[in-house]
A and B are shown apart, each in its own frame.
Chain A
Amino acid sequence: MKHSKNRPVKDILIIDDEDVILQAVKRVAEGYSIDEATDAESALQLVESTSYRLILCDIMMPRMDGFAFLDEFRRRHITIPVIMTTGYSTVENAVQSLTRGAIDFLAKPFTTDELLAVIARGLRCSAMQHKLLTSMANELIYVACPPKFFRLGIGSWVSMEADGTALVGATDYFMKTIDVVTQICLSPESEELHQGNPCAYLESEDHLIHSVLCPLSGKILRSNINLKTEISLIEKDPFFKGWFYRIIPSHVDYEMPNLISCSSDRV
């Protein structure tokens, strides 16, 4: 990303071919400075001339779709965080988005709160990335996910245990985008979880509800009861004591290709 000083800085660029979505987002997120684009090509032009902190992008668009847009972003080494959204809200689309480098996925139709939560996380994410680029090399901004763990996007992690079960939790990165968690809502035991579907809801101090997308499908064997009494565990030790569920994975073979190995993060 080119950092030219005279480029204007704006909070959000929203890309969607439906005018009603553009207007709705602008209305709801009225506190932020927002630009809009109705297709991916014009969005790419806007990114050249303006510095955005966050991009909200539809998947199904004429000509260049959201995935192609993400790929183009990666090719140009643009680091602005992107949140994908679509009306065709299948698990596959959610997982694809996260695998291809989006920081989050928002299914349409969404409520005001859902949108605001996603934007809040996205902007914090953007701020962290900015810090990462400008800070000293040894300053710890977030704890990276341990090697041998796998993650879905940047939000949730899974660790395969020797007994065939798997532990699931939220990454430190994700927790840092939430700031302070006041409440957690977990699914009951023996329920089936599905990769890419929300599996836990975290409420932050600003009363926004944040959903954690499940990294792997499976049946819940146990959930971490310690979180009920000591919720700060998630923030203090998100990769070990702050786990959410122990699950019996059901489709490891199909779903592993969608996950990113945390070992590769350290290269």
Chain B
Amino acid sequence: MRFMRKIGFKLIVAAGFTAIVIIGVFSYFNIRSHSKGLLAEVERHANQLSETVKYSTRYDMLLNQRDRISLVIRNIGEQPSIDRIRVMNKSGEIMYSSRDNDIGKMLDKNAESCYACHAADQPLQKLSIPERTRVYRMNEDSSRLMGIINPIYNERSCWEAACHEHAREQTVLGVLDVTMSLEDADRQIKQGELEMVIFAICAFLVISIMLWVFVRKWVVVPVRDLVKATHEVASGNLSYTIKEAEADELGQLARSFNAMTHKLSDARLQLFQSDKMASLGRLAAGVAHEINNPLTGVLTYSSFLLKRTAHQPELQKDLAVIVRETLRSREIVKSLLDFARQSVPKKNESDIHDVIERALTVVDNQITLNHVRLEKDFDTSNPNITIDANQIQQVVINLLVNGADAIGPKGGVIRIATSRVTLSPKGTMQIKRAVCPKRHNLISNDNKIGGLPTIHFIAKHASGELNFHMYPIYGHPKSPDRDLSTVMCPQCRTSLMADDHICPQCGGPTFHFEVPGLGMVESCTRKACNFQKWESVDSAGPREFVEIRIDDSGCGIPQEDLPRIFEPFYTTKGQQGTGLGLAVIWGIVDNHDGTITVSSEVQKGTSFTIRLPVKL
């Protein structure tokens, strides 16, 4: 039963069960006290009646007028709620009764009306009211009856009466027994029980329905949305967001979830882009290689002919064109290679605001043409950062031009702001270079994890050797899949073990390698231990970044296009763009160890955020 496993059903069952228990207990005590009250009322009434009979016949008793006594008893006994009234003498003979056929019958001590006093050897002479009362049934089918006995005590007027019926020594002369029918009370009790059951059922149904409605609104729907969102994200749709989150904890969870997927999609974009650029690099390498070989044929033969035909000026001119154009082709291929490799930036310490201002003067014309109002919000406390000023200027120019293009001739606003942010190196810093003590490169571009080049080692373990590729994000090493005994450089097989160190987390042996210029990184050899320590980066503390944010009020980029905008050759400008602008920007920022992210809303504008590390 699938629905029985659902959280809504479980909550309803739990709440419903609690309601049933509470209502049940309440009803039980309510009915009990109700029936007790009813019986007490009947008892009081019976007792009163019994006293009434006793006193109204007293005078006739003294006068020994038996017919009158019989008449009174019969008359009273005809009332509907009274079953019968009897008067027994001391020997158990029924002297008077509301029912004629009872008169003269003998009752023994075990009869229900005698038992109260005659249970013990010596008959009791005094009884309290509850002891004088008894509830019983004549047979299985008849309704309940309540009998109350009232002893008739000997009094002076009794033994002095003219009839001399009673001796002076006698204490109890007989018993007046009034039996009331409980049919009416029983019916009321039944009625009460039925009402209670109906109330309980109704309450249970109402509680269940209300719970179902609220649980559905506050729990089932948000949880279902969350589950749907996790499925979407799991299947790769990172742009999925949960809408209409409430202000409660589940709403918070939904908002956190949205923030997480957003971050995740940014991260994936960066990784994806790394991979894209690497692919483009490989493509360019292949193209360059393939084109350069035939070009070699053209260039050598044509330059050879040019040399050999020095005495033929008419040929010289044509051949010179071939040589010149081939040399031009050579330069084009070379620049394609350079682009793909995103040549190493030439970094100097610069003030980012100078760079931005210079970029602004370059694009001033275009911005004015498009009636763009420029807002600047610079945090002048930003420190100088080590950047290739020309490359970063190119980044800012490209983003500003893109913004102005997005705004179009109708005019709008571009806001450019700088600020300082601090991020922890663990989990964010990528190890981009690694060498063994003999300075062999350990970075492997052939084996990537999540699009990033890994750090490659050869490692010995209990039953042989393996290639160990480590994830290059500091603090998140992919731990080896078995315990390693020795980790070595794959080229020179120099041991990288840190002999005098043990892992502070698991006590296992550790190994280390050098990041040129940034000290040693130590890592654990044990499987399932992800200890990693990068002294110089840790001691430098959280890394500071200068953040440049460029917002425009332009046409925006559709959500589905966002993941692709940093791809090479992806353009929305049709014939106007090459599709390389943002790819180049991405490559430049990546080469500065920085990150670039984008957010956009159609018809509202686009926002690019660049973060560049203050210290490299």
Contacts and interface: CB of A to CB of B under 8 A. Distances in A.
Given A87-B288, A88-B288, A108 B293 contact: yes
Contacts, number: 86
A109 B300 CA distance: 8
A140 interface: no
A109 B295 contact: yes
Among A27, A87, A90, A194, the one with the most B-chain Cβ atoms within 10 Å of its Cβ is A87
Contacts of B344: 217, 251
A17 B477 CA distance: 42
10 contacts: A24-B296, A24-B300, A24-B301, A24-B304, A27-B301, A27-B304, A60-B289, A109-B297, A115-B300, A253-B516
A110 B300 contact: yes
Given A89-B288, A90-B341, A251-B344, A111 B293 contact: no
A251 B297 CA distance: 36
A115 B299 CA distance: 11
A73 B610 CA distance: 49
Contacts of B306: 112
Contacts of A225: none
Closest 3 CB pairs of A and B: A87-B292, A109-B296, A20-B297
Nearest to A258: B439
Contact of A111 (B292, B323, B433, B435): B323
Interface of A: 18, 20-21, 23-25, 27-28, 60, 86-90, 108-113, 115, 192, 194, 217, 219, 250-251, 253-254, 257
B326 interface: yes
Nearest to A85: B296
B300 A87 contact: no
B288 A28 contact: no
A108 B285 contact: no
A21 B289 contact: no
Contacts of B307: 112-113
Contact of B292 (A27, A108, A250): A108
B294 interface: yes
A23 B294 CA distance: 12
B300 A253 contact: no
B107 interface: no
Interface of B: 285, 288-301, 303-304, 306-307, 323, 326-327, 330, 334, 337, 341, 343-344, 346-347, 433, 435, 439, 516-517
Contacts of A24: 296-297, 300-301, 304
Contacts of B296: 18, 20-21, 24, 87, 108-110
B330 to A, nearest CB: 6
A108 B306 CA distance: 19
A105 to B, nearest CB: 14
A88 B341 CA distance: 12
A24 B303 CA distance: 11
A90 B337 contact: yes
Contacts of B288: 87-89
Nearest to A23: B297
A87 B334 contact: no
Nearest to B295: A109
Nearest to A115: B300
A21 B516 contact: no
Given A86-B292, A90-B285, A109-B298, 11 more contacts: A20-B296, A20-B297, A24-B296, A24-B297, A24-B300, A28-B300, A87-B291, A109-B296, A112-B307, A219-B346, A257-B435
B280 to A, nearest CB: 14
B579 to A, nearest CB: 24
B300 A27 contact: yes
Contact of B293 (A18, A27, A217): A18
B592 to A, nearest CB: 14
A254 B591 CA distance: 15
Nearest to A195: B344
Contacts of B433: 254
Given A250-B346, A251-B344, A112 B303 contact: yes
B517 to A, nearest CB: 5
Instruction: Tell me which of B291, B294, B296, B297 has the highest count of chain A C-beta atoms within 10 A of its own C-beta.
Output: B296
A248 to B, nearest CB: 10
A27 B306 CA distance: 14
Nearest to B517: A253
A87 B307 CA distance: 24
| Secondary structure of the B contact surface, majority rule | helix
Contacts of A257: 435, 439
Contacts of A21: 293, 296-297
A25 B299 CA distance: 11
A110 B433 CA distance: 33
A89 B304 contact: no
A178 B591 CA distance: 39
B517 A87 contact: no
Given A89-B337, A90-B337, A251-B344, A109 B326 contact: yes
Contacts of A25: 300
Contacts of A27: 300-301, 304
Contacts of A60: 289
B292 A89 contact: yes
A115 B289 CA distance: 18
Contacts of B295: 108-109
A93 B326 CA distance: 22
Contacts of A194: 343
A89 B288 CA distance: 8
B493 to A, nearest CB: 16
A89 B346 contact: no
A65 to B, nearest CB: 12
A89 B334 contact: yes
B332 to A, nearest CB: 12
A223 B344 CA distance: 24
Nearest to A60: B289
Contacts of B292: 86-89, 108-109
Contacts of B516: 253-254
A251 B295 CA distance: 33
Contacts of A88: 285, 288-289, 292, 337
A108 B327 CA distance: 11
B616 to A, nearest CB: 11
A111 B327 CA distance: 9
Given A28-B304, A250-B346, A20 B289 contact: no
A90 B307 CA distance: 28
B133 to A, nearest CB: 109
B601 to A, nearest CB: 42
Nearest to B438: A257
A48 B341 CA distance: 39
Contacts of A90: 285, 337, 341
A112 to B, nearest CB: 4
Nearest to B308: A112
A250 B293 CA distance: 33
Nearest to A92: B341
B310 to A, nearest CB: 12
Contacts of B346: 192, 219, 250
A21 to B, nearest CB: 6
A41 B327 CA distance: 33
Contacts of B326: 109
Nearest to B347: A250
A262 B433 CA distance: 26
B297 A113 contact: no
Contacts of A253: 516-517
A246 B541 CA distance: 37
Contacts of B285: 88, 90
B293 A87 contact: yes
Given A88-B285, A88-B289, A257-B439, A112 B297 contact: no
Residue picked from B300, B301, B433, most chain A C-beta under 10 Å: B300
Nearest to B285: A88
B293, B306, B337: most-surrounded residue (chain A CB, <10 A): B293
A111 B337 contact: no
A242 to B, nearest CB: 27
